[in-house]
Amino acid sequence: MYYIVTGAAGFIGSNLVKALNERGETNIIAVDNLKKADKFLNLTDCEIADFLDKEDFIERVMGGDFDGEITAVLHEGACSDTMETDGRYMMENNYRYSLELLNHCQNEEVPFLYASSASVYGGGGVFKESREYESPLNVYAYSKFLFDQVVRRRWSERTSQIVGFRYFNVYGQREQHKGRMASVAFHFFNQYRAEGHVKLFEGCDGYANGGQLRDFVSVEDVVKVNMHFLEHPEKSGIFNLGTGTAQSFNDVAVATINTLRIANGEPVLTLEELLQQQIIRYIPFPDALRGKYQSYTQADISAMREAGYLEPFLTVEQGTANYVNYMLAKSR
């Protein structure tokens, strides 16, 4: 019997593979697309039974090769580029592929945990798992929204666990392959080490420079939540996965810089001091993002709490410090 992790060489997927290993599970089939070959680095310290290209895998699933052989599916694979304009590709990759896996898992009574996204809420100010608050701003968000809608329609007929996680702004280890789509903590770390300063967007939508607010959640917590639900197959639902607290991009920058300063034996500085010394600088807000940007997100995590996940979440200061120290250790 196998655990299936799709997107296994990616950011969240590889962290889930490692978490399964830490629980003694090595009978894992890692599924991904390695057109970006450097993603393989995320799996070099993991133990897996096999690696399959995502197209080969779905063909084998539909051909019955895995009937009766799967313990659970953790479906993280998707195109997550919110600037992707090829809607046909996005829907085939994110929506149709997910639907085929869902069908298989329901037919085989296999637990199915999948990645949704907080982007389904669009520019709204309420982040609660309910249809009236959902209004996607781009085709990526729409692909996630539409799949959630299918899950909802099938809810009363489900044969096994189905859990969708609406990830908010996830950051942490094993995201280095994502390039411009990597977290701001990753970019701030590299900017500060290379140039001695970091760049943030100027204010928009009524927010001050660097003051846009997001629910930044550490991948450490994302893994814990996934493992909790995997261990409780009686629990199903679509859940926000964030900390429940919004913090600013300035907070992330300050936490990143000060963790690096501490590592260098330098004193910590306040935001005001960092601005005065031009260690934090602001750049114009990109025109391409206007009308497609969430300036504020804050997960309502009451549904997750009611479902039994009661662990505290890391703050930006705690999670960023962990992440920066991890990157420092890897760079030595």
Q: Are 36 and 178 in contact (CB under 8 A)?
A: no
Distance between CA atoms of 93 and 100, rounded to whole angstroms?
Answer: 11
Distance between CA atoms of 64 and 84, rounded to whole angstroms?
Answer: 33
Distance between CA atoms of 100 and 116, rounded to whole angstroms?
Answer: 16
Element (DSSP H or E) covering residue 275: helix 271-276
Torsion, Cα of 302, 254, 120, 145 (10° steps): -90
The answer to whether 54 is a known catalytic residue is: no
Q: Is the dihedral of CA 266, 269, 273, 274 positive or negative?
A: positive
Residue of 18, 128, 178, 199 with catalytic role: 178
The answer to whether 3 is a known catalytic residue is: no
Element (DSSP H or E) covering residue 153: helix 139-153
Residue of 95, 114, 140, 309 with catalytic role: 140
3-state class of 89 per DSSP?
helix
Catalytic residues: 140, 178
